[in-house]
A and B are shown apart, each in its own frame.
Chain A
């Protein structure tokens, strides 16, 4: 009914390979894109700056991580460190007088090279050991960032981002920062949807499913794993730079700590591993649900409906966040993407219960 299949016949391979085979999907995406582009016009600056903008940027980060975790199956618990490298590199490059556009690419490259070193561990181990190795690297990068004054500007310093312009447009107003972030996130989304259809994407999936078996059929695990870490870290590095320039605008090492890495993994898992829409939904959910629920409870507490202490309230976001991770893993391990998929499948044949087959 809503996703009408009637009249949709794919008579050529070209049509069958479309990104959105059903017209409703295509119109939905176009509509959402227009809504997102026009967001600065109808969303109040407070909401745009503190909810929508971080959502867009973290979605880009989740997309970068899910390329590695969802497609290539390489666990990474140090992705915040990769983003930190991108953020700090871009700030120092811009300060050195390099144009912002090139600085973004260069910071991505620097992150990619260092991120590929992270990937070195993946060539030796997998599973739990890879988690531990990337976790250790997160601590190492954190320590280097904090303790090398040339990078962080001192142990507890805050590094302000310089004013920049992107393609001759100054990135100063909230709307321009939002559009830059949105542009990057959309670019990543389109890239991600297409990478699944390339030989590289298929090699990643083969490595994820069983790397020995992939090696047997001629996929070089060494090259593919390193490429996966390289690509994903490049995306993560640029996202880190965007995060620094568009959202934080004053960078401290704590913004890229271990907890942020966990949060990113949570976004990827809650959204659904290796799914595009899952990355967007997961980032939004993990970012906004604790804020929303905490505001709800503190509102109730302020009005005297539920008697809770200040201490409890201050720990509430952590509790909600932890409970959310556990709940999703137990009840819907495939994440929000699967929930959306179920709803979509239901409406594909609605008002009937089943399609043919």
Chain B
């Protein structure tokens, strides 16, 4: 029972950390309608950015805002140079473009900055918190709390003036243009915000497993999270994240010894498949009605 409880809690916290990665995906999809498969690489780049700024000798709490500013700018640049030219192209082009960006970043960033894992010290104690028989990893705990806070902040953000514009843009590009909203700027801002979310995710994941190219592999669970929660739903990120995290920790916790390891990927794949088969738009997503 304690084993189950421990798996449950650590799964939920890991899932919340997944939702940090997934949040960037949802922010971009919600406003631009672009599936950003480079979000994993963006998180990796953000992790490297945090490490780089810290390597100048700055305190981590100063480094993270600076890295956030860098990644905000990076998101703007990516949108301006790459994605804006893809407006109106079929989805395969956009998917492949973001995958190309993913591959490029996965090669370029470790290629230039070094591929050995870089440590990020957030000043979190590595000793677990012990409640009864249950061990809780402190990084995951803080990560989960930060994820909750960040998703809450994004929900509030969508209530502000800029956020309302972003919601309008997500509804309909042409109508937003008609009422005087700069669609380009709104989409640019959403990329920048995804960059900031990537910094938070990169710092937390980087502190728990080191910064190297493996951070970009977070894309796969993040995709499962957004598919399950609904690609255009911010609260869905939390629910989907917890579900993916819990299922992806509890089931392998019992099955790995039987089935020979790495059942986590299988669970994640099955979540994606079953969601798409049963309810393609996810738990909270909006169903698109297609017309001829």
Contacts and interface: CB of A to CB of B under 8 A. Distances in A.
A107 B269 CA distance: 25
Given A124-B280, A143-B266, A147-B260, A133 B101 contact: no
B103 interface: yes
Contacts of A143: 262-263, 265-266, 269
A143 to B, nearest CB: 5
B100 A121 contact: no
Contact of A322 (B92, B101, B280): B101
B112 interface: yes
A146 B266 CA distance: 12
Interface in B85-120: 85-86, 89, 91-93, 95-97, 99-108, 110-112, 114-115
A129 B276 contact: yes
B96 A266 contact: yes
A325 B103 contact: yes
A326 B101 contact: yes
Contacts, number: 140
Contact of B114 (A124, A269, A311, A318): A311
Interface stretch (A47-55, A173-181, A208-216): A208-216
B152 interface: no
A326 B220 CA distance: 21
A208 to B, nearest CB: 10
Contacts of B82: 326, 330
Interface of A, helix, strand, loop or mixed by DSSP:
helix
Interface in A310-352: 311-312, 314-326, 329-330, 333
A139 B89 contact: no
Interface string A95-130: 000000000000000000000000001001101110
Interface of B, helix, strand, loop or mixed by DSSP:
helix
The listed residue with most A CB atoms (<10 A of its CB), out of B82, B100, B115, is: B100
Contacts of B95: 75, 128, 131
A333 B93 contact: yes
Given A213-B292, A315-B107, A140 B269 contact: yes
Nearest to B290: A212
Contacts of A128: 35, 91, 95, 231
The listed residue with most B CB atoms (<10 A of its CB), out of A127, A213, A320, A322, is: A322
A324 B35 CA distance: 20
Given A139-B220, A333-B93, 20 more contacts: A131-B92, A133-B276, A139-B268, A140-B266, A143-B263, A213-B292, A262-B99, A269-B96, A312-B111, A315-B107, A317-B107, A318-B103, A318-B111, A322-B104, A322-B108, A323-B100, A325-B96, A325-B100, A325-B103, A329-B96
